[in-house]
């Protein structure tokens, strides 16, 4: 029995010694690791942390830029696919580019000078629009007359979609023909002046868009037509048509403000107009390009609030150099605060349309409430009888 106790005690002492040795070794290892770290820190060159931080910053910026590139690539692909889908099925020969190409051709077609331009030069100018055979066919020599027109004298009249990337575009061209040959009936007579003829021609240009060469072509000889330009007899409703007329405002005060406003609108610089015009599109005014003369036919309507009014007025403006007067129309949205007016909007159709819809909704609700009044009276009478 005593032997067993002795042996168990010895075993316990041995385990304790081993545990203490293991603990000492682990603590020594920890100390060594700390010492190694301290030595490494001391042995690191100057600027190590800055270099490490710089490297991390570089890689973060690199990854960010890479992300932006991926986003742009995929978004541009999406946009291009959308534009391709939207352009699919559309005839490019009827596009604004096609119309401008045809207009440029008409300018070249109606401009020639028989005295200063050779036949080959004119064929070359027309050859930028027509195939080679057509550029020779289209040229008809005129031995007496010069022709002149400008882009401003050419007006678009019609665009016909012929499909298959073809169109027929019609213009009205105002042309001046000038006779350059001076003929005499007798030697004693004074030579007559060159004769000028002003005329309007309606010309129809056949246009084709070549997808392979990515360019427009006048694929056939142009043809002449006629457009009966009658007077515009149909009257279109004004933008303010349907607005409620204002009854509780001072017409005199508003007219006095309009006189002051249009005088400033014609002459004052932007820094002054910003005090009375909050509409950013029109804060530059007329910049002294026109003079204010007078007002005509002013109408005042209700706005979105009690202090707001819509004003439609005819304004007579004059050219500063010649004094020639022009009639123009303006629609203003005015706001009154502290007995002072400011212009919120000028010729803003979107705002006026929103106001119309709001007034319509208000009148519709009023009609519903008016219809319910007789029913409420009947209910009240029945209750009183009971």
Question: What single string gives the DSSP state of each residue in 80-102?
Answer: HHHHHHHHTT--GGGSHHHHHHH
The per-type count for the chain, helices as H runs and strands as E runs, is 8, 10
* DSSP letter assigned to residue 193: P
CATH topology for 251-361 is: Nuclear Transport Factor 2; Chain: A, (3.10.450)
206 forms beta bridges with 168
- The pLDDT assigned to 84 comes to 46
Q: Is the pLDDT of residue 105 over 80?
A: yes
- pLDDT tens, 3-44? 454 555 556 566 677 777 777 777 777 777 777 666 666 555
Q: Is the pLDDT of residue 335 over 60?
A: yes
- pLDDT tens, 195-228? 889 999 999 999 999 999 999 999 999 999 988 8
- The pLDDT assigned to 221 comes to 92
Give the residue with greater pLDDT, 229 vs 314. Answer: 314
Give the residue with greater pLDDT, 108 vs 87. Answer: 108
Report, as an integer, the average pLDDT of 328-352: 93
- The pLDDT assigned to 83 comes to 43
Tell me the three state secondary structure of residue 190: coil
pTM across the whole model:
0.57
Give CA separation, 248 vs 212, 296, 305, 306, 308, in Å. 68, 21, 13, 9, 12
- pLDDT tens, 251-303? 889 999 999 999 999 999 999 999 999 998 899 999 999 999 999 999 999 99
Q: Is the pLDDT of residue 321 over 50?
A: yes
Phi–psi pair at 338, nearest 5 degrees:
55, 45
Report, as an integer, the average pLDDT of 335-345: 92
- Are the CB atoms for 219 and 207 separated by under 8 Å? yes
Tell me the three state secondary structure of residue 122: helix
Report, as an integer, the average pLDDT of 154-175: 95
Report, as an integer, the average pLDDT of 322-335: 94
Report, as an integer, the average pLDDT of 59-85: 63
- The pLDDT assigned to 5 comes to 47
Q: What integer best gives the mean pLDDT of the chain?
A: 81
Report, as an integer, the average pLDDT of 120-136: 86
Give the residue with greater pLDDT, 267 vs 56. Answer: 267
- The pLDDT assigned to 80 comes to 46
- The pLDDT assigned to 86 comes to 45
Please give the share of the chain, as a percent, with pLDDT higher than 70. Answer: 76
If pLDDT is split at 50, 70 and 90, which confidence band does 152 have?
very high
HEC string of 44-80 equals CCCCHHHHHHHHHHHHHHHHHHHHHHHHHHHHHHHHH
- The pLDDT assigned to 344 comes to 95
If pLDDT is split at 50, 70 and 90, which confidence band does 69 have?
confident
- The pLDDT assigned to 205 comes to 96
Give the residue with greater pLDDT, 247 vs 152. Answer: 152
- The pLDDT assigned to 90 comes to 86
What CATH number labels 92-184+192-225?
Answer: 3.10.450.540
- Are the CB atoms for 312 and 299 separated by under 8 Å? yes
- Specify the domain boundaries for CATH 3.10.450.540 within the chain: 92-184+192-225, 251-361
Q: What does the alpha-carbon distance between residue 218 and residue 135 come to, in Å, rounded to a whole number? A: 10
Q: What does the alpha-carbon distance between residue 334 and residue 351 come to, in Å, rounded to a whole number? A: 12
Sign of CA dihedral 378, 379, 384, 386: positive
Report, as an integer, the average pLDDT of 346-373: 76
């Amino acid at each position: 029995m005593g032997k067993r106790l002795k042996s168990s005690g010895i075993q316990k002492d041995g385990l304790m010694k081993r545990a203490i040795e293991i603990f000492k070794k682990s603590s020594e290892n920890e100390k060594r690791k700390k010492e190694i770290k301290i030595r490494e820190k001391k042995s690191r060159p100057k600027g190590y942390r800055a270099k490490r931080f710089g490297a991390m910053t570089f890689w973060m910026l690199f990854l960010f830029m890479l992300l932006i590139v991926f986003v742009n690539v995929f978004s541009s692909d999406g946009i291009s696919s959308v534009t391709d889908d939207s352009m699919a099925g559309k005839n490019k020969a009827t596009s604004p580019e096609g119309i401008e190409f045809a207009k440029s051709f008409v300018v070249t077609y109606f401009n020639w000078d028989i005295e200063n331009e050779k036949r080959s030069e004119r064929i070359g100018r027309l050859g930028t629009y027509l195939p080679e055979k057509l550029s020779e066919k289209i040229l008809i020599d005129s031995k007496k007359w010069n022709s002149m027109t400008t882009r401003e004298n050419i007006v678009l009249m019609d665009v016909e979609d012929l499909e298959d990337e073809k169109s027929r575009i019609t213009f009205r061209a105002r042309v001046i023909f000038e006779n350059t040959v001076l003929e005499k009936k007798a030697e004693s007579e004074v030579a007559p002046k060159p004769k000028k003829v002003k005329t309007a021609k309606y010309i129809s240009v056949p246009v084709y868009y070549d997808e392979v060469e990515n360019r427009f072509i006048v694929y056939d000889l142009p043809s002449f037509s006629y457009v009966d330009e009658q007077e515009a007899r149909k009257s279109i409703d004004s933008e303010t048509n349907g607005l409620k007329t204002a009854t509780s405002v001072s017409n005199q005060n508003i007219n006095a403000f309009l006189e002051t406003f249009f005088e400033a609108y014609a002459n004052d610089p932007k820094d002054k107009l910003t005090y009375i015009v909050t509409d950013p599109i029109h804060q530059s005014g007329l910049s002294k390009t026109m003079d204010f003369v007078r007002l005509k036919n002013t109408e005042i309507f209700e706005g979105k609030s009690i202090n707001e009014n819509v004003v439609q007025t005819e304004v007579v403006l004059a050219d500063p150099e010649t004094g020639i007067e022009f009639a123009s129309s303006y629609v203003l949205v005015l706001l009154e605060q502290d007995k002072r007016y400011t212009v919120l909007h000028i010729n803003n159709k979107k705002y006026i349309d929103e106001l119309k819809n709001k007034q319509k909704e208000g009148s519709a609700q009023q009609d519903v409430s008016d219809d319910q009044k007789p029913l409420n009276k009947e209910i009240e009478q029945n209750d009183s009888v009971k």
